[in-house]
Structure formats: structure tokens, C-alpha cells
Chain A
Amino acid sequence: QQQHEDLSAKKLRLTKPSKSAALHVDLCKATSPADALQYLLQFARKPVEAESVEGVVRILLEHYYKENDASVRLKIASLLGLLSKTAGFSPDCIVDDAINTLQNEKSHQVLAQLLDTLLVIGTKLTENPSVRMRLVEVACKHLTDSSHGVRNKCLQLIGCLGPVEKGVAKEVESQAAKDVQKIIGDHFNDQDPRVRTAAIKAMLQLHERGLKLQQAIYSQVKLCINFIVPIPSSNEEIRLVDDAFGKICHMVSDGSWVVRVQAAKLLGSMQQVSSHFLEQTLDKKLMSDLRRKRTAHERAKELYSSGEFSSGRKWGDDAPKEEIDTGAVNLIESGACGAFVHGLEDEMYEVRIAAVEALCMLAQSSPSFAEKCLDFLVDMFNDEIEEVRLQSIHTMRKISNNITLREDQLDTVLAVLEDSSRDIREALHELLCCTNVSTKEGIHLALVELLKNLTKYPTDRESIWKCLKFLGSRHPTLVLPLVPELLSTHPFFDTPEPDMDDPAYIAVLVLIFNAAKSCPTMPALFSDHTFRHYAYLRDSLSHLVPPLRLPGRKLVSSPVSPSITPHEDPSQQFLHQSLERVYNLQHLDPQGIQELLEFTIRDLQRLGELQSELAGMADFTATYLQCQLLLIKALQEKLWNVAAPLYLKQNALASAAAKQILEETYKMEFMYSGVESRQVVIIHHMRLQAKALQLIVTARTTRGVEPLFGMCEKFLQEVDSFQRCFISELPHMQGSFVDKLLDLMPRLVTSKPSEVVKILQTTLRQSTFLHLPLPEQLHRATANIIEPTGESDNPLRFTSGLVVALDVDATLEHVQDPQGTVKVQVLYPDGQAQLIHPKPADFRNPGPGRHRLITRVYLSHTAWTEPCQIEVRLLLAYNSNRSKASAKIPKSTWNESLETLPQPENVIEGTIPFSKPVKVYIMPKPARR
């Protein structure tokens, strides 16, 4: 009764949002369960405001009690869970009701769902111990249910909410805490494997929340480990971690490969394992301890010759040796040692990859282990599956600061340079960038192999140069003795000057110059032409060749010591100064403003070319200034005051300007990563101005008022939405176009289109130029199509009407979410354009901010008489709604749970070309009859 009164009171209050009321009506109308379900589904698609959640919950519960159909009740139960997740809603008021519903429920599925709901509620109310205790009690009660689903949920709930802190709470509670462990422990032997899994997961959850597992339970967990995918139960005692590690090592040789993958992954996640345990995972035969210490090199040769077993390398050494008493030294059972050796040579590459990853993680935390696993990783470079090779190369790179490669290892590593896969080679180049090499022979070997690679695959040029740059700067002392040989200088004779355009020669020079940077004695070994070449390369490949302090020469640029902070960096300063200058010019004559803008834009563009790290910033501001410049030009007073016959030229100019500004603003908004909302406002403001300009131009050219009405309305709507979206930013925009416009808004709404246009024109002209604040980091999205190269003279012939596959390989930089935005466009000579959406799997992510698109484009056309070129380019698709949506509304969990909704975000509003087009010669032949 109490509840009923409560309910009616709530309903009155909730008339305004009316969502719950509508739902109520709907549900009352529903005649069949199917209808009701439909209504509920519809309802679920819409978000609910926090304040009305409670009302909705009440209504749902009311229906819940009335409903006979289990599926509807199930849906209601799930809705309850979703609703209690709503941000800002505190679900404590519905706990009782939810628990009540449990009492009378018969359907197992609904029960399970209700428990799930309780779990959600419980996780929201973690601070409230009494509620949690109640929920746990409820769950314990339902543990005896005959359905595995219900038992699963109960265990999950107990795991998440079961009390952890003993002693802190009252006596009763600590009693319960013990019970919780026992309860979960009891279900380790449940007859349903799913429940067993859930029990172990619950225990794990408890453990993660800080509960100390008891010894007895640990042994139970161990038993269960044999039956399901193992769960690490690392314990308070470090020895137990080791023991668990040993157990999981065993699992690496399990019969099922799924288990093997899991086991290998788990090995990687166990960080506190003591080092001698770790080392045993790399040695199969470590049945006895390593009694004598050997040098690293020796170990490479006879890593396995210890212990009582023979290695199978020599004939006849497998006669049984004397048995060593292994009881004392055998840390892991013999079955478990060498777990990684097994994992790395497993049949399934999934297991091998997992093992490599695990090695990586363990090696990152333990340098000594890193040193030991090196041999194995290097061996993996010759795996038969490319993915595994790639993964091991990446792994090696990640641990490379812990290790130094020996020569024989380097040899194996370098052999992979001949791999035909570009991915592998590039990964290897990256690896070499950060590798430590121990000897000068090693460096020489690396250089020779890289040059071999260069001749074999000329497209790797950039990557190899970059690699040599780092190799040189890392090992200046090792390069020094090689210099005469590398430059082929002779103490007495002059040697011929090498060809400056030879990529191999450039590669050698890059290595030497980078080494010379920290080795002042080196330039003495250079011959004359080397200095000339230095000057040339310093200018043409400035990103690869560092400034050198050469004898008898002034430094090309002042040395940039790393201690200088970005703000003191002269180029940075220059950027800011030039911007300051522009922003201060409010009262210059129009001519002066234009000139200054033009100069600044030119300066910025040049700066962007010179300083690659500032390129994004410089381009961004240059574009902005360019827009401003266009706007100023278009608004020049004298042009607008000319006589009617001259309108035509003027209009063309203005509308072109407006169009270009629009384009540029889209570029600014979507092509740069790191744009913050402050910049977005300015960009949108600029776009608004462009639209105003467009309106003015149209007003002057069109006869009649009818079309103008619509346009004005539309424009005013845009202003309105701008105001709504960026209301918080408006105070920063004093004196700007929009600021003035909003002041005049009441007048605009009521006045005629012609009036509006006039007002707009004056406001546009009077408004001040907005200061564009620069974000910390700004990068322009760039794309570079590597393949097709566009150099082929042989047309790609195919039969018309059929398709031909064209492999496209491109590198993308600073593109956010390339899977959603990057498209491939093919332009045929007849103007036909084709837009291709590459598959998400076609994008690789070799490094932060970089992506690689390797996809296949299918072309087709009717027959041509002669071969012709088509253009392939990459486009960046954008959608202004999306950026707004993601910027303004944080993605609510409510929306996330409804994947069935059509995603409005996928709609493409427009595209920006962001790569140079590449021409491909194709020839569709007529089909033979």
C-alpha cells in the first residue's frame, strides 16, 4: 500500500518528462506479450534522464508483477539493470523492490537476469555495506538453484560484492567474509563446468579486490586448474606464485591448443616469479643445476649440454649417464621446465604468438631474463608464419634497451632483411634503430646487409636511411674505425668521387654523419668531396643529417641542445611572434593587412617545410590566416560599391572565396589530430562567416525574395545551433562576428531577408579578427601512396566487364580512427568516380600515430580503345555531426548497450583528399567472342 501511494505521487511529479507515462500507456495497451515486448524494446532505444528513472522503474515493476510471460519479465529485468546504470541515478531506492521480485520468480532465466540487475545495482552502491550484505545474502540463498545460469550469476555477484575487509567491520560481517570464501570454494566441485568456471572467476574477483586467499582454497584452485582454462591464483606468499607458475608451465604442453594459448598468455602476466624459475622455462633439460658458469658465447653453442639427458646433437652421447640426485635442485617438475621452448615451437601459430608476447612481457620486467631469451627470440625470426616473425621482431624491439646483440645473433637477425614482406623488413629496420651492437664487425655486417636490402628492394630507401641514422648515432665509436673503409679513402691516393645520387652511398654517409655528431675526431678522416656532400645532404635530407661542427666552417644552424624547452625554441618563438603580429593588426589599412597576411602565410608555410615538428602547427595557422585573407579580400569595400554591371566578376570572386573557406575549414577541423574544442569554435565561427558571405552573394545575384526566405531561415538556424553548441566559449569571442550577430538576433528574426543581408554585410565587415589559440600538439594527417607507384608504362590489361585487382599500399600519419574515415577513390578518365571503403583489417598500426593501409581495390570498366590513366587517391571522410556529438555528449552507457541501433555516425558528410593522386595505367580490353 505504501508503495502504491508512493507510486501515484511519483507519477504526478513525472508528468513533464512524460516518458514514463508514455511507457505506462503503451504497456497498458499491449494485449499480447509480443506487443509488450515490442514496446519495451522501443523504449530501450531511447535514453532516459536521471530524474525520471525512478518513475520508469516503478512502472516497470508494476508490470513485472502483472506479467505472466517470462520473456517480457526477462526484458523488464534487463531494463531495470540498464536503468540503474544511468548516470546520476542512485539505485538504492529500488534495491528492495528488486529483491522482492526475486522471491516469487519461477523462471530461471528471469532469475538470472534479476540477479544480474542486482549486481549492477550493487556495483553502483559499493559504498553502502549493508546493501551489499543483503545482496550477498540473497545470492547465497539462490545458490542452491538447479539452473546453472542462476548459480553462475549468484557466484558472480558474490565475487563482486562479497565483503573483503575482515576485522574492520563488525564481528558478524567478518564471519560472513569467511563464509563467502567457503561458499565459493564449495562450488569449485559443482557438477556443471560452467558453474565451476564462474566460481573460480568469482574467487579471482575477490582476490583482485584484495582478499587474501586461504591456503586450503589455493589447493582447491590448483585441482580445478586441470579441468578448465587456468586462472592465476597468485597469492600473498611469493612461493605460491612460483608454484602456480610451475603449474601453468605444465599447461603449455596441454592437449588442447586453446588451453595452451591461455597458458602462454598467463605466463606473461605473472610478474613476480623468481628469476631461477623463469630461467627454467627456457631450458628443457635443466634437470640438474648449472654447475659451472660459462661465458655468454659458450652458452650460445652449448646451451643445452647440461643435465643428465643428451642433446641429440652428437651421435652416441645418449648413452645413459649417471643419475644425478635431482630431488634437491629440481625447482619445477621436469615436465614444466622448458615451457617457453615448447610454446615457441608449438604447432599452432596462435600458441607461438602468445608465447612470444609472454616472453616480451617477462623480459621487460627482468633484464637478465631478456638476455637469456634473446636466442629464442632470434630463432623465431625464422618462423614459417609471417605474423609470428613480425611479432617476435616487435617484441625484440620492445626489449632492446635491455640487451646487446652478439654477432651470431645479429647475423640471424640480418638474414631476415631479405624477407620479401615489406612489413617484416620495416619492422626489422625499426628494431635495428634501437639495437645495441657490441662490435665494429657487427656494425659493418649490419651496413652490408642493409645495403644488400637496399639494392634488392629500392622502395625501402627512406626506412633504411632512417635506420642507419640511429645506428650511427648510437654507435659512434664503433663506426669510427670503419670510416676509411666505408668512404674508400686511401692514405696516398685520391679515390674517385662516388656518385652523389646513389642511394647506397647516401646510406653510408647518413651512418657516418650521424656517428660524427658525437665523435669530433671523425671529420678529420673525411676527404674533400665528403664535406661537399655533407653540405648538400644537410640541406636536402635535413631530417637525416644532423648539424656537424666541421673544421673551418660555420655551423649551418645553431646547435639545438635538448635542454631548451619548446617555448624557447627559436622556431617556435618565430611562429608565435608572427602570429602575435597578425593578431595585433586591427587598425591597419586593408591593403596593409592583406600584405601582412600574405607574408605571414608564406613565412609559416616555409617554416612548416623546414621544421617538421612544427609543420602541423604552421600549416594549421597558415590555413586559418588564408581563410581570413580570403574573407577580407571578398569583403573589400570598393568592390561592393561598384556599379551593377560589374557585379558579376565581384560575385564570382566572393562566392569562390566563400566556397574555398568552407573547404579549408573542413580541412582544419578534420585533418589535424590534436584539435581541441577551443580551435573547433574558431573554425566553426569561420565557417559561419563563410556561410554569411555566401548568403550575401546569393542575395545579390538572385532575383525575387522566395528562395531567400529559406536561406535566411537556414542561416539563422545555423547561428542558433552554433550558439547552443559552443555556449561556454561565447564569452571568449568578444567583438566577433557571432557575438555581434547574437546581439542583433531579435531584430534579425523579425526582419525581411534583404534587411538581414544588409545587417550581415555590415557585421561581417565590422567584426574583429579572432585570435586562434594553438593547442599543445597539432599534426596534419598525411597519406602517402607507396604502391601503385604510378611509374609503370605497362598498362594493366583486363577484359572489360570483369574486374582487376589493384594492390594499394599507403602509409597514413596522424589519422584518427582510420578504419572509419579513410577511403580510396578511383577516378576514371570519363569522370566516373568510385569510392572504396577498405576493410578494417586492412589497416595496420605499426606505431603510435602511424597507420598502414594495405588493401586491394577492384577496378572495372567497359572496353577502351587504348590504355588510359586512372587516378587513385586517398580521401578522408568527415561528418560534422559526429565530431560535435563526440565532443559534446559523452557517450552514455545507455547508448552503448544498444548495438542494434543504426549508427548515424557512419554517414559521410564530405571528403577531403589528403594524398597525392597516383596514376595507374589500365587497359580494359573488349571481351573475346
Chain B
Amino acid sequence: MPEIKVTPLGAGQDVGRSCILVSIAGKNVMLDCGMHMGYNDDRRFPDFSYITQNGRLTDFLDCVIISHFHLDHCGALPYFSEMVGYDGPIYMTHPTKAICPILLEDYRKITVDKKGEINFFTSQMIKDCMKKVVAVHLHQTVQVDEELEIKAYYAGHVLGAAMFQIKVGCESVVYTGDYNMTPDRHLGAAWIDKCYPDLLISESTYATTIRDSKRCRERDFLKKVHETVERGGKVLIPVFALGRAQELCILLETFWERMNLKAPIYFSTGLTEKANHYYKLFITWTNQKIRKTFVQRNMFEFKHIKAFDRAFADNVVFATPGMLHAGQSLQIFRKWAGNEKNMVIMPGYCVQGTVGHKILSGQRKLEMEGRQILEVKMQVEYMSFSAHADAKGIMQLIRQAEPRNVLLVHGEAKKMEFLKQKIEQEFHVNCYMPANGETTTIFTNPSIPVDISLGLLKRETAIGLLPDAKKPKLMHGTLIMKDNSFRLVSPEQALKELGFAEHQLRFTCRVHIQDPRKEHETVLRVYNHLKGVLKDYSVQHLPDGSITVESILIQATAHSEDQGTKVLLVSWTYQDEELGSYLTSLLKKGLPPSTA
């Protein structure tokens, strides 16, 4: 039985460090190569030694696919390709390829320059790594080799996020990466066609959440920001440089414009300019509204949002990173945390272990580095703006793709369990949720394409009723397996090709009938009976006293011992087996009482 094996190296019953190994029909594919936000030791990268203990990974992997540029999906890439060693192709979409190195560089800077770690990848490594990347377009089918092909679908989530379909022959796996089924202010919704994959590997960050209408969320967000600003407080919105930041910027920008507000909005510098530049560039990846209006005004050219200035940082500030685990957002948070007028709005998910997660869990006293205790007086608000599909969205995607199996990754175990139940209940498909390092095996039942000669097809479809697209149809033919290919040909042709002579196979059967009359009368009765029953077949009475039904021959002789019993000899070829056996059973039932 062919099988697909899936082993998560990261993101199995966990969020962060996405890295999933898939072997499908003898091909090994690695999906994503991320780092973990919560750890600063070796655990931050996936354990690549699982693939091989020594030597380069190139021999063991056919390709690597990166779904989007978030570091928990691509953060380990330079380490993996340069330090562990991988020279095969790495696939990602164009925006991802453009933005990914910026984020990696930023990450490297924070780790090496700020934290002073050694033995980390270098800028050169990032560059070398990016040289191995092959960019793909949406819906473009890329042949990795003769058998393995991949195809990207739009996933929403962030600019350039994609879902990938990996296909070998007719077995296929869809990996969703992170996706969003509800469009937001700058991106559209994920979409996939009904591709019936054998396995759908889906993220499940919000497995137990069904978010209410995004409009309510937006309204609440704006209201909270507005109120705090009017009260004279400051609002800190920790975001990642790309993604939510842009959505919230557009949201605030349009609101500011509509309400004619003057209070400045600041955005932490650095990545922003570059990021906005890419957003302007990849306008085709954004939503309908932005695509349609960018000719008049590019929505990413903000009027009210200014670059961050330490001296004037006031009012509303967007700061990176989003989980308050390091960098500018943490600095500002420490400065503002003491004032109860201020507010911090967490617009997205926070990984366990980060400051963001702690304050959201209600901790009011935080232990910072150097044994300092920070008391949090400011208001802490959570607003789920993160662009992951909620439970409903996940179900919706499953309904769209109609997979035969579902596998959940990128979520917390307890929540996955819940969603798994729901999926099995509603779709009646198997659902798996392996932990890191645990291998899931899925048996597939691939259909095998067979070439059929046109002549045979026409001949066979001509028999019987109108062809019906939905139902399987029985055909007669000879299957030739030769040179790794399958062909269905007519028996004559097969014989010819193989150089065999045809052997006739005939079945003969005797049927005893009680009939005291003369032989030819019996024959006549049989003939009339058959003629009456088999209206669609040609029934002929030959002059030599035998009957033919199509090619089946029926002869009657008197029984040698008992003249009252007539023996009917029915003979048919192998090809007419169906009709022949029907006829014998018919005759065995006996003739109808004579009417003549």
C-alpha cells in the first residue's frame, strides 16, 4: 500500500519553529524551516539531525518549501542551508523572497549584535542561502523533478503567504502554512480549488476560536485607541514589522482621515520603510480594494503615520516585535507600563514565555533581566487581529479542498484535540495531530492512469446505455504492462502485439427439457420463447434445425433413452459468457406452457 509519511520537526502540537518533513511516493520534502520565539538555546531551531546524523542534507531532501516570511516559518533557513548544509532548491513566492532576507538580517542583528551570541549565521550566509531560492508565482505549477511538482495558492495571512500543493503522480499533499479565511484591510482571503488532496496539513492556531465579525473588532480597536488618546494616554501597539502592522496602519490612517484627528501616529523605523516599499511593489497580492484604487492613491502611502522619533514618541506607537520579547516594543513598554492612563493593545498571538503572553495571562509583576521587577499598571487589551484562520475558517478550507485526511500542526495540543473531534465529526475524514518527532503514516489509494486505445473506448461505450460521467463503467480489454506504462487494448490487438495466436474457449451446456413433441417442434417452441424474451437480440432459426442467439448456438436432440425429454445443447464462446449463462438459466426454467 502506498503511503505518505509526515514527521513534524517543529510545530507539532506547538506554535513556532515550523518544520515538517513529508515523504510522498519516494520524495522527501521539507515544509518550512522556522525558529522558535520562546527559546534562546538550541531548541530554537529544529533538530535537523533527525534527517541524518552526519553529512549534507541535500541527499535526503528533494526540496524545501517556505510558506511565508515570518521567522517562525523561515528563521532557521540560513542555519539549515549553510551551517548544516543543504544545496537543493528552496521554493518561496516572490514577496517572500524579497522580504525574507530583511527579516533574517534583523533577527541576526538582534541575536548577534544585541545579545552577543556567537556561532550564529552571518550576513553572508543569509545571502548565500537566498541564492538557492527559486521564486514561484501563484497557481504556477513548478516541476521540481520529473515526478514531483508543486503549486502555490493564495493564503492571505501576510503579503506573499502561500499554501503549497505537493504532488507526485496522483498522490498529493497540501500544506497551508499560515492562512486567513477572512479578508482584512489589505489582504484577501485564502483560496484553494477542490483539489482532493490525500492529506491536508493545516495550521490550527485558533482551533477553538470562532472570531466574530471583523468589523466589530475594527470598531472596538478604533474606539479604544481613540478614547485613550482623548484621555491623554499613550497607546502602544506591539506588532511585527510586516503584516498586521500594515493592516492596522491602514485602519488607523483611514480612521484618522475620516475623523480628522491630529494626534500623530508613529511607527518604529527601520523595517517599516522597506516593508512599505514592498507592499507598494506587490500590489497584486493585496485585496480588491487596494488593487482597484492604487492608481489614484496607493494606500500604503500614509499621511498621518510618521517614522518613530525617540524624542517625540507620544500618543500612538506601533513598535516591533509583536510579542514584546525584545527590541523597541519592550523598551517602550517598560517606559510606559507604570502609568494607568496608558494602554497596550496586543493585536495578535503571543507565544508562551514571552512578556506579551505573561501580561495577557494577567501577570501584573514581571521579572525583567537583571532581577528587576516591573509593575504593570497600564491597561492591557487583547484584540485578535492576527490573520490566522479561526475554527470556522479551517473547516471552510477543508470543505473547499475536500482532503481525504487532515493533519493539524501549529497549534496547542489541547485545542487541536478539540478541533480534531470537530473535523472528524463533520467531515468523516481521519484527522491526525502528531507531536514533534512523531511520524504519522497515511495510506493512500492512488488511482493509476491507464491509456486506452480510442477504438476500444468507442466500441465499449457504444454498448449499453448512454455514458454516465458519474458512474464507473465495466469494460472488456487486455491490460498490457510494459516499460513502466499501462495500456488497455482490445484483445485482438494485444494478441497481435504479443505475437500469440488466439485460442477459442467455448462453453457447452446441456439442458434437459420435458417435451414429448418432435424435435423440430421443440426447436420451434424454444425459438418462439426466446424470440419473445430476448427482444433486443437477433434470434434466428437456421434451416439445419438449430437456433442462434447472436453467436450462441442452440441445438436440440431427443434424449437417447427418454423420447419425452429433449436435450438442448447450448454452446457459447468465452466472450459471450454473460449472455450464454443467462440463456442457460432461462432455458433451465423450462418453456412456458405451449400456446401453439
Contact = CB atoms under 8 A, between A and B. Distances in A.
Contacts of B208: 309-310, 318-321
B417 A320 contact: yes
B473 to A, nearest CB: 12
A255 B402 CA distance: 12
A347 B188 contact: yes
Contacts of A418: 258-260
Given A347-B288, A419-B258, A189 B470 contact: yes
Contacts of B414: 319-320
B417 A318 contact: no
B218 A382 contact: yes
Nearest to A287: B210
B191 interface: yes
Q: Which of A307, A318, A319 has the most CB of B within 10 A?
A: A318
Interface in A299-332: 303-304, 307, 309-316, 318-321, 323
B242 interface: no
Interface string B416-440: 0110011000100000000000000
A418 B254 CA distance: 12
Contacts of B212: 284-285, 303-304, 311-313, 341
Contacts of B479: none
B188 A310 contact: no
A189 B468 contact: yes
A284 B210 contact: yes
B193 interface: yes
A319 B206 CA distance: 10
A335 B215 contact: no
A415 B219 CA distance: 12
A349 B288 contact: yes
A173 interface: no
A346 B216 contact: no
B382 A314 contact: yes
Interface in B64-118: none
Contacts of A323: 418, 421
A316 B361 contact: yes
Contact of B395 (A321, A334, A344): A334
A318 B415 contact: yes
Given A189-B468, A379-B216, A312 B211 contact: yes
A157 B362 CA distance: 70
Contacts of A335: 392, 395-396, 399, 426
B383 interface: yes
A127 interface: no
Contact of B206 (A250, A253, A285, A312): A312
Contact of B469 (A191, A255, A309, A314): A191
A644 to B, nearest CB: 71
Contacts of B144: none
B191 A311 contact: no
A838 B183 CA distance: 36
A319 B411 CA distance: 12
Interface string A338-365: 1001101111110000000000000000
B469 A189 contact: yes
Contacts of B361: 315-316
B214 interface: yes
B469 A345 contact: no
A335 B400 CA distance: 11
A318 B209 contact: yes
Given A310-B208, A320-B414, A348 B288 contact: yes
B43 interface: no
Given A311-B212, A312-B384, A347-B188, A384 B206 contact: no
A412 B399 CA distance: 35
A553 B468 CA distance: 89
A253 B396 contact: yes
A191 B392 CA distance: 34
B286 to A, nearest CB: 11
Q: Which of A284, A321, A418 has the most CB of B within 10 A?
A: A284
Contacts of A349: 288-289
A318 B206 contact: yes
Interface string B341-383: 0000010000000000000111000000000000000000011
A338 B220 CA distance: 20
B193 A379 contact: no
B467 interface: yes
B192 interface: yes
Contacts of B259: 415, 418
Contacts of A312: 206, 209-212, 217, 384, 390
Contacts of A250: 399
A600 B396 CA distance: 74
A349 B290 CA distance: 12
B151 interface: no
A311 to B, nearest CB: 5
Contact of B182 (A310, A311, A345, A415): A345
A802 interface: no
Q: Which of B191, B216, B259, B382 has the most CB of A within 10 A?
A: B216
B395 A311 contact: no
A338 B392 contact: yes
A431 to B, nearest CB: 18
Nearest to A349: B288
Contacts of B417: 320
A318 B215 CA distance: 20
Nearest to A419: B258
A313 B382 CA distance: 7
A234 B193 CA distance: 29
Interface in A92-130: none
Nearest to B185: A384
Nearest to A303: B212
Contact of B213 (A253, A314, A376): A376
B288 A255 contact: no
A313 B395 contact: no
A252 to B, nearest CB: 10
Contact of B392 (A284, A379, A384): A284
Interface in B508-553: none
Given A345-B215, A384-B289, A419-B258, A316 B360 contact: yes
Interface string A744-763: 00000000000000000000
B189 interface: yes
Contact of B210 (A144, A189, A285, A384): A285
Interface in A424-467: none
Contacts of A500: none
Q: Which of B206, B215, B384 has the most CB of A within 10 A?
A: B215
A346 B183 contact: yes
A313 B221 CA distance: 11
Contacts of B182: 342, 345
Contacts of A311: 209-212
Contacts of A384: 185, 254, 289
A333 interface: yes
Contacts of A309: 208-210, 391
Contacts of A338: 392
Contact of B426 (A333, A344, A347): A333
A384 B289 CA distance: 7
A415 B468 CA distance: 59
B123 interface: no
B471 to A, nearest CB: 8
Nearest to A333: B426
Contact of A412 (B213, B219, B384): B219
A415 B260 CA distance: 11
14 contacts: A250-B399, A255-B192, A307-B210, A313-B383, A315-B346, A315-B361, A316-B360, A318-B415, A319-B414, A344-B213, A347-B188, A349-B288, A375-B216, A376-B215
The list of the 7 closest CB pairs from A to B, nearest first, reads A312-B384, A347-B183, A379-B215, A315-B382, A320-B418, A315-B360, A312-B211
Given A320-B415, A323-B421, A347-B189, 15 more contacts: A189-B468, A191-B467, A254-B400, A284-B210, A285-B210, A309-B208, A310-B209, A312-B217, A313-B383, A318-B415, A335-B392, A345-B213, A347-B288, A384-B289, A415-B259
